[in-house]
Amino acid sequence: MTQPNAQRRARIVATLGPATSSIERIAALLDAGVNVFRLNFSHGSHDDHAERLRTIRVLEEQRGQPIGVIQDLQGPKLRVGSIQGGKILLQAGQPFRLDLDPAAGDSHRVNLPHPEIFSALHAGTELLLDDGKLRLRIDACGADFAQTTVVVGGPLSDRKGVNVPGVVLPISPLTAKDRADLAFGLSLGVDWIALSFVQRPEDIDEARDLVKGHGVRIMAKLEKPAAIEHLDAIVDRADGIMVARGDLGVEMPPQSVPVLQQRIVRAARNAGRPVIVATQMLESMIAAPVPTRAEASDVANAVYSGADAVMLSAESASGQYPVEAVRIMAGIISEVERDPAWRAGLDATHSAAQATTPDAICCALRRVTALLQLAATVAYTASGFSALRASRERPTAPILALTPSPLVARQLALAWGVHPLAFDAQLDSPSEMMEQASAAALRQGLAADRDHIAIVAGLPFGCSGSTNLLHIAAVNAGSLASLPAPAPRQAASAHETVIV
């Protein structure tokens, strides 16, 4: 079966929601170009998410195509309490108090039911309310109150959100709701966990302790300024990164967000971690059949920077044109990847290899695929390491990742240029490995008769992180015709030179 969008390198993540819950809609999203689905646990019931995941797995089985699923945890939501009449109007320059008193608020004060915030405040700190529309400056504070001056006023309604930029809050990224949601997601068999409200590297450790033994990967959502101060350490501990520009844009000046986006993408690429650029990419398509030209440029810029994936949120979850949004996003990606400047930019921002055998092999892979204009790379991988390391090099040829693990195959659906395939073939010798690699590339439509492919693997087979072989093979369709396809998956060549 030919892999869809075989020549597109950047991946598309789409959020499922009320507009995209039926099997027909989810199938249409896949046909339009989605590689990975996001289940947003800030909305919807457990039953809603379970049914969507069941539908994804049905389609996966029908298509023989690994489909990744990200469970996005809500994280702590800091909000003010209730207000008399539902709304007040704050004027710039007026005093305003926040405290732990649960009584309904008025024009002089409001409840802030988060003692952990008060413990972290100090005079001069700023609080942002309602996604940054209102700004307060702390004049004095204690364990149960903060006396402020309104810097930027406006209407304030019940339960509006509170942001505290520039302050590391002494709270876990995992609330009781998140822990219950996480346990449920693990029982369903999600592939990735997106962790909200990451402030410190230790936040990743806390989540990893909870998912131990399940094999899922942890994605750090970078939406807090504190996380940027620990960027390299967080990238090092996480398995993937999401540039969550919505919340990041609330707590940081708007002009800083594009620069931070580029910095985060570079850090993730350097570490070989899949990185998603998310939030408001085609926002106008929630209600319009075409995006603005600025939105199209936004998607294109993420692709030019070498991001692994771009993501749709409300556009696909609740918008009026979810399938059209995916088609347009796929079209933008394809258009960018036809531009010679795109390849030149990837090469110019290529990360230096480390003095390790896997780095040496995959660095050579990048040079070989460009020099010989190979049709594809086939990476044998038990843990996903070989495929991710090959993807980090951003080679000119697509990467077919052959893995015995369906979970790893689904996780690799997020990685730049990787076409994952779970397969059951028993490999007993290097020659058998070469034959199965060539057959798989042929059957997946990534190579044709007489094309040349590169094969990367680790010997001995099944040893995670041991990438130590690069082989160039010529595909001979005639000699491969009799090879059985490993059920229910695929895999298969003439040999040339082995580089170890």
d(CA 309, CA 299): 10
Token pair belonging to 79: 């909000």
**Is the CB of residue 403 less than 8 Å from the CB of residue 412?**
yes
Q: How many residues does the chain have?
A: 500
Residue 377 is classified by DSSP as E
Token pair belonging to 85: 């009449």
**Is the CB of residue 366 less than 8 Å from the CB of residue 438?**
no
Note every long-range contact of 182-188, with CB atoms under 8 Å and residues 24 or more positions apart, other chains counting: 182/71, 182/73, 182/207, 182/210, 182/211, 184/46, 184/49, 184/50, 185/39, 185/41, 185/49, 185/71, 186/211, 186/214, 186/216, 188/49, 188/50, 188/53, 188/71
d(CA 407, CA 402): 12
- Which secondary-structure segment (H or E) carries 270? helix 257-271
Annotated active-site positions, please? 38, 79, 221, 279
d(CA 56, CA 34): 12
Q: How would you class 318 by CB atoms within 10 Å of its CB: exposed for 0-12, middle for 13-18, buried for 19 or more?
A: middle
DSSP, collapsed to helix, strand or coil, labels residue 22 as coil
Q: Computed from CA positions of residues 150, 151, 157, 162, in that sequence, does the dihedral angle turn out positive or negative?
A: negative
Could you give the C-alpha distances from 387 to 11, 26, 262, 362, 377, in angstroms and in order?
15, 27, 23, 10, 9
d(CA 151, CA 136): 5
Phi–psi pair at 333, nearest 5 degrees? -60, -50
Residue 445 is classified by DSSP as T
Could you give the C-alpha distances from 242 to 70, 186, 256, 354, 372, in angstroms and in order?
11, 20, 17, 25, 34
What Rg, from alpha-carbon coordinates, does the chain have? 24
Pick from 294, 381, 275: nearest CA to 332:
294
Q: How would you class 85 by CB atoms within 10 Å of its CB: exposed for 0-12, middle for 13-18, buried for 19 or more?
A: exposed
d(CA 67, CA 56): 7
